[in-house]
Structures are given as structure tokens and as C-alpha cells.
Structure 1
Amino acid sequence: MGGSSSSKLQDKHVVIVGGGYGGITLANHLKGKCKFTLIDPRETFHHTIGGLRAVVEKGYSNLIFIPYAPTFGESFKQGKAVSVDTTAKKVVLETGDEISYDYLVLATGSSGVFPVKIDLSVTDASEAMEMYNSYVDKIDAAKDIVIIGGGPVGIELAGEIATDKKDKKITIIHSRSALINNGTFNDKFKKRLRKGLQAKGVEILFEQKVSNLAELPPDGSARCTVKTDKGSEVEADLVFACIGLKTNSSAYSEAFSDKLDEIGCLKVDEFLRVEGYTDVFAIGDCSAADGEAKLAFKASVHAEVVAQNLQLHEDGKHLKTYKPPINMIVVPLGRNGGVAQMGNSIVVGNMITKIVKSKHLFTSRYWGDMGQEMPTNVK
């Protein structure tokens, strides 16, 4: 970039709310180009892609929490954003601190259930690591494990446990007639996932909804009976409810109440700006840009487009249109393989899936992206 165009952006302050995959990608792109502040309630980036392995491999949790401060220094602010004032152009934190912006990028992500997500109230990395390690012990002690939900998270969790803990009886209870509800992915892909799980001894109950979810111990503290609306009863020592991500919209829901879709995502234009605004963008899970396909790699693509558009806007040039990347999903069934779909029709199995994702879960990549050395005290 030329000096004159760069200097225009250097005079601006970009505030990024949320340090997930999109947030850290954008922050890295803005280094040396402008003043920015990355805000997140936690002190560390949570590499959620590795969370499912962290409940079967003791010590793997050390690898999925990467501190922000060594990467972003004073450009990182730990805190919870609670509101946005678009008139004064400020983000308000739970502490009462106010951070002014020239541009605001909302990257607040989504919440879900452990082990792929951790409640935002858990801000200390050591506490989160201990949660993962405690579940390694719980899985080791369990004989019968029930996973509620046959989406990517439930499938990957079943695959991780079945691969490393072959003595466990694992049952997936899924409300639909095929694995993965997203209609973007084809029948061949879904059938190969089913066969891969069944080859590992995983039983799948299709078209059944758990009817007593509220009565089930969420922490494996007691053996229980999981009941379904079709009359099935499955005994379990441990139950994982891998259902339903919720958009983290509390920080912006009041300021942008008329810009939300039915699940709290922000409606954006073709440049990923929140509709009606030229200085506010939304990326990742809190953006409605990709509909139901909420994937980590898409958050990073959003961030790259926004980084370019911030510069283009300052240069007075036409902004770059966001074009959704090719449909792609890679679902490991443990560390040795899985199934992936690329485009609308290409489906591949264990060898390519292992190389692309299953073996390493992109863990070393994100330590590299954060400019830090990955710990070597686990395999």
C-alpha cells in the first residue's frame, strides 16, 4: 500500500468487539496500519476447534488457549462490552469504561455448550483448562456416553471418544433423519459420516428428541436414563448436549435492534457493513452474511474483506464485495480421519481429512498466526 493511503487509515481507531477467529484475523491485518483495540472478556483466544480433543486427551487443553497480550500488547483490552453508542461512537464495557471508535467491527461470535464452547463468565484460562482435564477423567470413568445432537459438534465428539476410548458405548440421539441439519451439504457426505461412526461402534438414534433433558445431570455426577419422544430409554454415565448455538448479541442488541435477524445476527450489506451504517461492520457468527453456515474459516474470510474495506473507505475507493467462499466442511472422526465435502459434490474420506484437519486440528497454525511458540508438553 502506498504511504498516502496508509496514513489515512493510520489516523483512525478501529475497535473490534470479540477475539474469536474473525477478531484475531482482523487485528493481525490491522497491525502497523492503524490504531486498533481488540476487546474480549477472556485473557486468551479460545481455539474451539481443538476443544473436542481436549476432553479425551489429557493436557491438550494447554494448546487451545493462546494469550492475547503477547500478540497484541496494549491494543488488547480485556473486558465485556455491554452496549454501543452509535451517536457518540463509543463502546461501553461492564466496568463503565468507554472506548471511542472511528470504525466499529462486531465479532462477538456465538455461545454453546461445553466442550466446544465455554461460558463467557469463565475468563481465566487455567480454570477453563481444568474444566477440560476434569472431563478427560469423567470420560475415562464412564461406561455409557450419550451425545444429544447429530450436527458437526456431536459427530466430532463421538469420533474423538470412539477413537481414543474404544471401550465406551456411545449413542448419538438426533432429531432429524440424517446427520447434519444444514442443507448445504449432500447426502453422500452425510451417509459417509454415518458409516464412519457406525464402523467405530457408535449407535445413532434418528428422528428422536430427548424428552427429559432438563432432568439430566449436566456434569456426569450421576448415572441417568435418557428418554426420547419415541419411547427409547438409554442409560448413561455421561451426557453431552451438543445442540443449539446462540448468537452473542447482548453487546449490540439495543443499539441495532432493527438490524437483527430472527437469531440475533446483524444484517449486513454486500461489503459486510451493518445495514444503514458506513462505519460499523459485522463478521463471523454474529453476521447474517452466510445464513446458517457458521464456520470458523468464514469468519476469517469476513475479516480479510473488512480489513481491505477499511482501507478502501479511507481512500475514497469502491469497497470490495464479500463473496462467500466455496462450500466446504471437514468433519474429523478422531485424529486418524473423517469426511469432508468441498463444493457441492466432492466428498473425500480419511486420508485427505487427516491431512487437512484431523491430525492437528489447525492448532499449530493458530499459535503461528498469534506469533507465539506452541507448548510442547503434550503429544
Structure 2
Amino acid sequence: MGNGNSTQVAYQDNMHVVIVGGGQSGCYLAVQLLKSNFCKVTLIDPRDAMYHNHGAMRAAVNEDFMNYMFLPFADMLGSSFQRGTVVAMDSNNNTLTLKSGYQVRYTHLVVATGEDMPFPFKLGGENAELSAAKAADLLNQYRLELSDCNRIAFIGGGYNSVEMAGEIKTAFPDKEVIIITDEDHLVTKRARPALQASLLNILQQKGIAVIHNDSVYNLESVLTNRRADGQVLKTKNGKVLVTDFLINTEGAQINNGFYEKDLAGSMSPNGTLDVDDYLRVKGHDNIYAVGDVTSVDEEKTPCTPNEHAKVVKANLIAECNNATMTAYKAVMEVVLVSVGSEAGVSQICGMQFGNFPTKMAKGKDRNSSSTWTDLGLQLPAIKPEVCQGSKV
């Protein structure tokens, strides 16, 4: 590449950037590209709105928070949105095939399909093509069932378990909540011992029990992620627990269905895509990947999608200008764990911070304000008690 590094470029009539996946990474990139107005952009997603998955755990206990959960693609992207499910690709001919049979041609492809995990944390599997209205019905039903339960158990000790447990105990202090993990730590191995100790202390103050180094062995005989009163859980270490609502946050899988054959040579064993320093899929100069679908070894934070999008946008412009490309540098190591709207703990570059910084960075509104604003949408009106109580 040349020595220039201009961020301006004339409109490229023959360039068509197609983004597959309407999560945060895909949407951030699409919005940034449209603002730059240098080529045709199409984002493809099976739903009619972006699901604000960072807010799902609060919407699961607070009806008012539903106002934040669905960001309409039509308002965000206009005619640059194509609703559909991509089922196959042909990188030799630069084409994508939708479930309907319709084909989309691209000059540049960005894979932003992310990962799938149980509802309500993501809308995948049988829920992947739900409209916002249908998904809202599903989430409302989930909240009603959860609010009627007295004993709630979590399988897995990651962010989703810890943070949703905090949301439940904040909204419903009298409910029994327990987290069961087969690990010796919570959320991430990058969280240092001091943060782990502080987090455990916060959970204990909230009345959330934690069982480390143990696992439930009779999961196949119980129902998960829905109300089922009096279910008996048996652990490998001999514990017997009773729960009315079992939430399994484990088993996340990369959404690689449409590219697993064509890009097999660029995939890691876990299904992610190997990318170079510029977030290009290895072996393909015109295919990029952003978000959870990349093999980048980093702690994924609410900032990660935006940072990936910035780099890909810069490199697409650099290609047009024959300029120097921008290498992606993982954002500084950040661990943010909110426990309800007021409590939490953070670790930034090894330094630990407590409730207030964590609240402002994450817990206050589950990053809703920044997400809607960054995507060019006006934050919906919501009642003042949204972060203080529940409404069922």
C-alpha cells in the first residue's frame, strides 16, 4: 500500500460492501460506512430490528426496559437493510444465497454473525427470524414466568449468569438465587484475584450464593430457561438443590453456518474466523470479520464492536485510496461486571474500581443510551424508575 492515510474518498460506483449479521458489530460498521457515503452498503439480517442483548437481563425483570430492546433496522439503515437469512456463500464468485433463493453479489464481505447462546441473552436458533413484536412477546412471557418463581439457579459463572443474578436480586430481593460453575473463578480468567474477591463479596451482600468447582450432572432430565417448579438438581460433588427456574448460560456457539464450508480453511477449531492484523479473513483479501466471530484473543467489552468497525471502515477506505491500512490493536484490558444497576466491580489495565465507575460504564442503563445514539437513533422515552425497580 502507499504512504497516504486519507479518510476521504470519492463515491465508488463499483463497490458493494455486504455485512452479514445485525448485531452491534455489524450495525456499527453499517452506520459508519453509510455516514462516509463512499460505496453501496447492504446489511443482511433475519430480523427486523437489532436485539439489544446487553439489555436483555434487565428487560427480563423490568417491563419498562423493553423500550430499549429493539432498534429498528428500517430507521437505522433505510434501504441499505435486506431482511433475510444467508444460507450459503461462494467466495469465488462473490455471491451470497438467502434462504428464499435470492442471491446478493458483493465486492467486499464482512462477517458479523456473532455467537449464539440461550434466550434471553441472544435471539438465535428457533428464534433467529423473529420480528421485534414476536420477540417482545417471548421476552414478556419469560419475565412473567421468572417473576413467579422463588428459587432460581444459574448454570455457568460467566458474565451473563453473574449480571442477570444481580438484576434478579435487585428487582426481587426475596428470591433465592444461586450460581453453579465448574470453574474456580467467575466471569473471566483475566479478572485478578482481588477483583474475584470483591465480586464474591458483592454477590454475598446481595444474597446470591455461588458454588465453585462443581457441575450439575442431571441436566438432561430437567427443563432450562423456563419455569418448572421444584426441579431437583444433582451435582457431581453430591449436592442436591431445588429450583423453580433453571437458567443455563453455557454452550455458546459461533454462528458459522453459512460460511463453514466456503471458509473452512480460515476457521479455528471453535468455529471462529482467523483474521490478520487488519481484520481480514486469512486467505481472502475482500472478506473481513468483526465481533465475536473473530478469533482475536481479547476480552470482549461493550466497546469492542465499535473498535472493530472503525478499523474495517478505515481499511476499506484505505483500499480505495491505495493508502496504508490500519492494524487492529485490542482495546486496553477491561473487565466490567455490573451486579444490578448500582453495584459492580471493574478492572482496567490491572487497576480495580468499585461500584460508581462500574455503574456509570455499564450498570446504569446496560449501555442503552450509547448504543442507540451511536447507531443514529433517538433513545425511546422511558419512565424514571427504569433502573430502580421492577414492573411485571
Equivalent residues in 2 for 1:203-218, closer than 5 Å: 203-218=209-224
Per-residue deviation, 1:298: 1.4
Q: What's the CA shift string for 1:71-124, capped at 9, x where partnerless?
A: 111100011111111111011111111111111000010000122112243321
Per-residue deviation, 1:186: 1.2
Tell me if structure 1 keeps the 8 A contact 2:19–2:109.
yes
Pair 1:65 & 2:70 matched: yes
Per-residue deviation, 1:223: 2.2
Residue of 230, 245, 254 corresponding to 2:252: 245
CA RMSD across the alignment: 1.8
Query: 1:308 aligns to what?
Result: 314
Per-residue deviation, 1:2: 11
Equivalent residues in 2 for 1:16-95, closer than 5 Å: 16-31=19-34, 32-95=37-100
Per-residue deviation, 1:196: 0.7
- Could you tell me the TM-score, scaled by structure 1's length? 0.95
Q: What's the CA shift string for 1:359-378, capped at 9, x where partnerless?
A: 11111222222322222244
Per-residue deviation, 1:236: 0.5
Q: What's the CA shift string for 1:194-225, capped at 9, x where partnerless?
A: 11101111111111011011211121133201
Tell me if structure 2 keeps the 8 A contact 1:8–1:314.
no
| Runs of 4+ deviating beyond 6 Å | 1-4
Cα gap change, 1:320/1:10 in structure 2, threshold over 3 Å: closer, same or farther? farther
Find the residue that maps to 2:242 and give its secondary structure: strand
Equivalent residues in 2 for 1:80-229, closer than 5 Å: 80-122=85-127, 123-180=130-187, 182-218=188-224, 219-229=226-236
Cα distance in 2 for residues equivalent to 1:312 and 1:6: 9
Cα distance in 2 for residues equivalent to 1:4 and 1:26: 15
Tell me if structure 1 keeps the 8 A contact 2:302–2:367.
no
Cα gap change, 1:2/1:260 in structure 2, threshold over 3 Å: closer, same or farther? closer
Cα gap change, 1:101/1:29 in structure 2, threshold over 3 Å: closer, same or farther? same
Letter in 2 for 1:178: H
Number of aligned residue pairs: 376
Find the residue that maps to 2:336 and give its secondary structure: strand
Cα gap change, 1:3/1:247 in structure 2, threshold over 3 Å: closer, same or farther? closer
- Could you tell me the TM-score, scaled by structure 2's length? 0.92
Cα distance in 2 for residues equivalent to 1:266 and 1:365: 28
> What are structure 1's unaligned runs of at least 5 residues?
none
Higher RCO (Cα < 8 Å, 6 or more apart): 2
Find the residue that maps to 1:51 and give its secondary structure: helix
> What are structure 2's unaligned runs of at least 5 residues?
387-392
Q: What's the CA shift string for 1:170-199, capped at 9, x where partnerless?
A: 11111011212x322211112211111011
Residue of 326, 329, 335 corresponding to 1:323: 329
Cα gap change, 1:189/1:75 in structure 2, threshold over 3 Å: closer, same or farther? same
Query: 1:283 aligns to what?
Result: 290
Identity of paired residues, percent? 31
Find the residue that maps to 1:121 and give its secondary structure: helix
